[in-house]
Structure 1
Amino acid sequence: MTAIVQERYADRLVSAFMLGEAAVPAPGRGEVLVRVDAAGVDRGVWHLATGKPYAIRLASGFSRPRSHVPGLDVAGTVAAVGEGVAELAVGDAVFGTGAGTYAEYAIAKAGMLARRPAGLDAATAAALPVSGCTAKQAVADVARVVPGERVLVIGASGGVGSFAVQLAVAAGADVTGVASGAKRDFVLALGARDVIDYRTEEIDARGGRYDVVLDIAGNRPLAVLRRALAPRGRLVIVGGEEGGPLTGGLDRQLRAQLLAPFVGQRMGGMFGRTNRTDLAALAAAVGEGSLRPAVTRTYRLAEAGAALDDLAAGRVSGKAVILVDEG
């Protein structure tokens, strides 16, 4: 099969991702082989492909990537099922998270896939899994946003942030986004009431205290985040962006969790996990019109390295998708 093949870590992935050939994987027990139509572009793939922060190499391989075909989000058609899979069948249109999705075929655990509704196209579906599930879990499960609350989303123009803004608005919250001034209109179009340009003012400069702060960008000190938070507010640090080369932003999550028992504010961190229930809920929200995956750029498979470089450089608003079936 045609696939993106990576043999080494690199900061610029356009130089490390090569379009080549790889063996079609065989599904094991509980797994599904997916014929890939589209694959998502997200920071998780970037971390695995660059090996940064270095702590991630405990899972991805110390000196070079253990998996030579990158990619996580997937939308396509079931081509084969492994032993013990009863809920999916060959020919089913699916979307979710797999392994090595920057290729014509990819393996995924059956529990991390959902059937793709007829009205949900492959490119839109491929944008949903990692970023959409992470945002849903942050807004609904961890922060538990309720109507009337004031919510601040830091990193509102990114993949997870663009979903988080919409989901918080749909929950009845008054949402302010934090993004560059150039992306102000994009964030407002997602439903945010206001946008703070992080290049010209700090997140607490307007004196408001937020019931919920979702920090997705990972570039604010814990003290600044707490100043923007109401005395009984909830801070959710999503993922582990920024920070040092060894552990990235994970130290902020740890410090927030250690401090939380001694203050009135509830603070902690989270990482999203793809699951069928959340995938189905996201697809339903798209069908109802309350959620719109903001796919602003598409790339060919051969351009996967450039797609991730663009993402890391901040040149992508919302979500980017790789159209595998277009080569």
Structure 2
Amino acid sequence: MARPGTGPKLKPSEKGRLIFMQAFGFELKHGATVLSARTLPDLTPAADEVIIDVQAVGLNNRERMARRGAVPGDFNVLGSDVAGTVTALGRSVADITIGERVLVRTTHGDATQVRAPARDVVVLPRALSFEQAAGMITPGITAYRAVAVFTRLQPGHTVVIKGASGGVGLLVVQLAKARDVHVIGVASGNHRNQVLTAGADEFFAYDTENHVAALDGRADIVFNVALNGINGQDDVAMVRPGGQIISVAHREPYSDKPVQFTHIHPLAVPNDHTILTELVPLFADGLLKLPIGTLFPFTAAGFAAAHDLLPSPHEGRIVVSAADD
């Protein structure tokens, strides 16, 4: 796990709270998105909310797309996957305590503080670091929905997982294998050992092997969690007639054979809180693992570097951390 050089740290007050919070956001200047920091008053919670002092933020493809859509004239604070410590409670919050370690999927997470509904917050066990927690939130939710909500895996099923070396893909491999199915991972050849170690029974390198021909009609289910769900026609070729394609792609590929296509999308039931409550103990017990590739310091320069790396090829999760080590 790489960690670029750190910058100056934010100074906490004697009570452990920041006197002022800082938010790190993008502004559109001369056609380019430029990140800067702004100092703002501490947040205060509504009756059903908590305030979290952020210790780590995990970056996702959604931030890459949001940056491209930055609104001119606005201070666009991105970030959704947050882990930290509760520092303030709304008057109606009864089941969370000050000082508790938590994680949450929220908005405006690229900041030293966030506000979140108490119902969305999940307690973080000591066995899981803030960085590990922030790195697994969106990939975990997406992988869980793919494997446990949008299909019903049966023992003996054969599944093909495209993008098997990415954050979502590695978790789909692990969650699928735990359901006693035959897992075939597809990724670039340099990720062979990583995907097999995660639990895949077979591996095909898309950059050196004709995986589409080799897997023609073999899959009961194809999970396409590669970036933007690319090459959907390959999914059609690899799935058997009557099988299912579960994809992050929004558009269904053309098929001349009966195939069920499902786009992985948010749902009200189960919600993010329910899914994270189930996943967190699995990560804490080491039953699910997701590598962090690069840690960046919790500074304007750190957030800028993290977001700049996001659209480029990189290994593992990108996490911005307030840790001192």
TM-score by structure 1 length? 0.82
CA distance in 1, matches of 2:303, 2:192: 27
Q: For residues 188-245 of structure 1, give each alpha carbon's deviation from its aligned partner in whole angstroms, at most 9, with x where no partner exists.
A: 221122322222345412134211111112353433211111112111112x4xxxxx
Cα gap change, 1:275 to 1:84, in 2 (>3 Å): farther
| Matched position secondary structure for 2:220 | strand
Structure 2 spans left out of the alignment, 5+ residues: 1-20
Q: 1:132 aligns with which of 131, 140, 150?
A: 140
Structure 1 residue identity aligned to 2:242 = R
Structure with the bigger percentage of helix:
1
| 2:268 is equivalent to residue 269 of structure 1 | no
The answer to whether the 8 A contact 1:38-1:126 is kept is yes
Measured in 2, the distance between the counterparts of 1:20 and 1:91 equals 25
Tell me the distance in 2 between the aligned counterparts of 1:264 and 1:125.
40
Are the structure 2 counterparts of residues 308 and 155 from structure 1 closer, same or farther at C-alpha, using a change threshold of 3 Å?
farther
**2:66 is matched by which residue type in structure 1?**
L
CA distance in 1, matches of 2:54, 2:244: 39
Residue 62 of structure 1, CA deviation: 4.6
Paired residue for 1:24, among 37, 42, 49?
42
Query: How many residue pairs were aligned?
Result: 298
Q: Is the 8 A contact 1:145 1:171 kept in 2?
A: yes
Whole-angstrom distance in 1 between the partners of 2:42 and 2:206 = 45
1:177–1:187 contact (8 Å) kept in structure 2: yes
Aligned to 1:166: 174
Greater Rg by CA: 2
In structure 2, relative to structure 1, the CA distance for the partners of 1:83 and 1:271 (3 Å cut) is: farther
Identity %: 29
| Alignment root-mean-square deviation, CA | 2.6
| Cross-structure match for 2:108 | 100
* 2:221 is the counterpart of 1:212: yes
Residue type at the aligned position of 1:323: S
What is the letter of the counterpart of residue 324 of structure 1? Answer: A
Question: How is 1:1-327 mapped onto 2 (pairs within 5 angstroms)?
Answer: 1-8=21-28, 16-51=34-69, 62-63=71-72, 68-208=76-216, 209-217=218-226, 218-238=228-248, 240=249, 250=250, 252=251, 255=252, 264-272=258-266, 275-302=272-299, 303-317=302-316, 319-326=317-324
Deviation at 1:20, TM superposition (A): 4.1
User: Do 1:27 and 1:81's aligned partners in 2 also have CA atoms closer than 8 Å?
Assistant: yes
Deviation beyond 4 Å, 4+ runs, structure 1: 9-12
Q: Deviations over 1:25-74 (max 9, x none)?
A: 332343221011111111122221222xxxxxxxxx65465x63221101
SS in 1 for 2:200: coil
- 1:301–1:326 contact (8 Å) kept in structure 2: no
> Aligned partners of 1:314, 1:98: CA distance in 2, in Å?
26
